[in-house]
Structure 1
Amino acid sequence: MTDTLFEPLTVGAVTVPNRVFMAPLTRNRARAEDDAPYDIHVEYYRQRAGAGLIITEATQITPEGKGYAWTPGIYSDAQIEGWGAVTDAVHAAGGRIALQLWHVGRISHTSLQPDGQKPVAPSAIAADAKTFDGEGFVATSEPRALETDEIPRLVEDFRRAARNAIEAGFDLVEVHAANGYLIDQFLRDGANQRTDAYGGSVENRVRLLREVLAAVTEEIGADRVGVRLSPFSNANAISDSDPMATFTAAVDVVAEAGLAYLHMVEGQTGGSRELDGGNSIDALRKRFPGVYVANNGYDRDLAIETVEAGRADAIAFGVPFIANPDLPTRLERNAPMNAADKDTFYGGGREGYTDYPTLAESA
């Protein structure tokens, strides 16, 4: 009998061959001159086409949305063309692929911004966080608060990025509203101290999420859109006085939008799955009627058990996919895993990127 983890699943407009999803993984290898993916990305993603769904590395929707050196974009012709070669290769190998749409907000540095400008954020509050500027890890720059009349432009940036993603051949897009980046900054009262329609009450703080999802779903269809949230993570120095109330409202917005899937980081990003008293992933998950993708610290046994029990429809794996391009096969066969080389996670070329062997190659 096949474990449900390895069976097909319908996710909005697409049917995927298994429920082992590849989580978004920033690898800092875009072409330096234009932030476009190129031939090494084609090979990297093609190797991982056995995933039920590949969710790409976070991809900035505008130059202003960039927060790290050598991360790809989806706003220029060269970037659309580069991603088109990736999606062609993944589809030719039988895979399905979603593009993660990203605006980092305050998690940036003036050296990465157009004309050296300040990064933008809901409020002019610096994050106690670091970013990678191409030389090393540096403290993020103090941001400026977005003006109220700038927000429609920001929403249109997400809309255009979704349209560009479909033009580039992606099956789905995922709106990045997690891990302390721009939409998450609007959601949380630790970063959002606005006094206009986008700040203060929970209803106001979820407004940007609602408007972005409305624009993106109107542009490409709700059945091609997912979203990522990290309700209880403090990644990138983000905080909230009542995350359960905030994310109950946020998940309700996602449910109302009728999205293809909800993808949640359960606990601390890349860390503990333990939650403080009163906080509950399960309670949030039950508010969303669509496909639920769980993420954070899953191994084979926990993934099989969670899907079998109906607590998630699919599991997104991060680091294991870096070192194991054929991860679903290895999980299904309970085969040994390659170890990931952390020294090659960020930046560089093919080493630690496209040179990890499959089971067949190891044999």
Structure 2
Amino acid sequence: MSKTNPGNFFEDFTVGQVIRHATPRTVTEGDRALYGALYPTRFALPSSAAFAESVGLTPAPVEDLVAFHIAFGKTVPDVSLNAVANLGYAELRFHRPVVTGDTLSTSSEVIGLKENSNGKTGVVYVRSTAVNQRGEVALDWVRWVMVHKRDQDAPAPETVVPTVADAVAVEDLLIPDGLDFSSYDFDAAGESHRWGDYAVGEKIDHVDGITLTDAEHMLATRLWQNTAKVHFNTEARPDGKRLVYGGHIISLARALSFNGLANAQLISAINAGAHAAPAFAGDTIYAWSEVLDVADTPAPGVGAIRLRLVATRGRDTTTTLRGEDGKYAEGVLLDLDYWALIPQ
């Protein structure tokens, strides 16, 4: 009998099933350095221990998305090893900053199942939670993924589609203990724009572009221990291409957003996310943001800004998101709705 793990197929999931994912992963300064090597990130708070201390966070946290990638990667062997595509995210909250030395462990509960009409695939909905070595929740989120069936003749399960919130309510955002932007150093951060300088409906072109390479996206996926075959194996897809991990696009777009949103220092929640189209080596990625909302928080000097971050293949000077038919415009790769914390 084979001792290897072929991954779960659609019919292996049941609503209410809880999966503890291997293996725990300790965050190191190497993760911080490699993240900066892979993505052109310049946000002052995770870059500078002195800046982090000046706003009340000691030790300095790593980028929020480091924690997301690590936690997400843990779920892949059990949830999406046999996936066709990762379809979306919702209700993601960062409960506390992750610092070097933290060890993250992840578990998932299956909260929904829906077989597709072709009988070959189905959509699996899970709520995943990552905790640190003290059992404290670092982040949790809902995602849904399309997964192959092992046996097309296997009976379809009862359809259960969970209800998820359109957005995390501002009062449910979790502000890090001690965070204080009242003496914020705008010169060190790199831009003067603060909470009151952004208007709802404003669109910000982040200007710069990055061309994807196979070496970088595969290094990133290995760093996060994401084992999905489509990212490494050219025989895993009919077109013979390695699919770029969607989280790689998220981090590239977030890093590009520094130009115009340098003071959106911490991601507090991700309200929704969709990978609108696949990306491959050779694609050049650009990004723009739209301000969806602004809100106050109880933390001194700290405001919240809700942003739509869009990544495109090639330059999109019109900042068009959807066509008249409601479908994503050609070239849109990512549509991410999130809350960030910004000085007032």
How would you bin the TM-score normalised by the shorter chain? under 0.3
User: Higher relative contact order at CA 8 Å, sep ≥6: structure 1 or structure 2?
Assistant: 2
Q: Choose between structure 1 and 2: higher strand proportion.
A: 2
- Please, what TM-score do these two structures have when normalized by structure 1? 0.25
TM-score, structure 2 length as denominator? 0.26
